[in-house]
């Protein structure tokens, strides 16, 4: 498949994913950028999970989900527990696995300390300028579990 056709198919797939999760404004903007050739990078990482407001319990395993547009991986995944805080390594390099709904995913067992301001950062290792961020989510400890 030639590059322009592959790029268009990738764009259509990404637009479909953005629209499915309610990202109409982002989908429209990305389409305009692609059609008008404004020089804005066509590569990006869209982090699907965790989403803003999610609550992940310490000791439980959750799928971090993302979509890399025009980047195939590998990816580095990091966690920040507070705004402007230190980034903690979750994994240095992964290609993730495919989910049934088309996202890439990496299973992570949530760890403490707890926070109400956690965020995931995913970086394309072959293109370190291509970075995606999750929404702000909570990592909590069940009040009945041992501390």
Residues with Cβ within 8 Å of 114's Cβ and at least 6 positions away in sequence, in order, are 58, 138, 139, 140, 141
> What is the domain class of 43-147 according to CATH?
mainly beta
Q: Is-contact 56 62, C-beta < 8 A?
A: yes
**Parallel/antiparallel/unpaired status of strands 104-109 and 115-124:** unpaired
In whole angstroms, give the CA distance from residue 42 to residue 122.
Answer: 17
Confidence of residue 3 (pLDDT cuts 50, 70, 90): very low
Query: Residue ranges of the domains in the chain?
Result: 1-41, 43-147
Whether the predicted model's global pTM rises above the 0.95 cut: no
Whole-number Å distance between alpha carbons of 96 and 116: 26
Position 77 pLDDT exceeds 50: yes
């Amino acid at each position: 498949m030639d590059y322009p056709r592959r790029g268009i198919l990738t764009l259509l797939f990404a637009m479909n994913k953005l629209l499915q999760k309610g990202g109409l404004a982002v989908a429209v903007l990305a389409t305009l950028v692609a059609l008008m050739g404004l020089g804005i990078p066509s590569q990006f990482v869209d982090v699907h999970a965790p989403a803003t407001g999610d609550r992940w319990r310490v000791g439980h395993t959750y799928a971090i989900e993302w979509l890399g547009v025009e980047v195939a991986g590998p990816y580095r995944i990091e966690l920040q527990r507070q705004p402007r805080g230190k980034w903690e390594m979750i994994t240095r390099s992964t290609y993730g696995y495919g989910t049934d709904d088309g996202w890439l995913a990496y299973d992570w067992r949530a760890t403490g300390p707890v926070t109400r301001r956690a965020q995931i950062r995913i970086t394309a290792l072959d293109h370190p300028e291509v970075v995606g961020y999750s929404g702000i989510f909570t990592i909590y400890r069940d009040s009945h579990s041992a501390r």
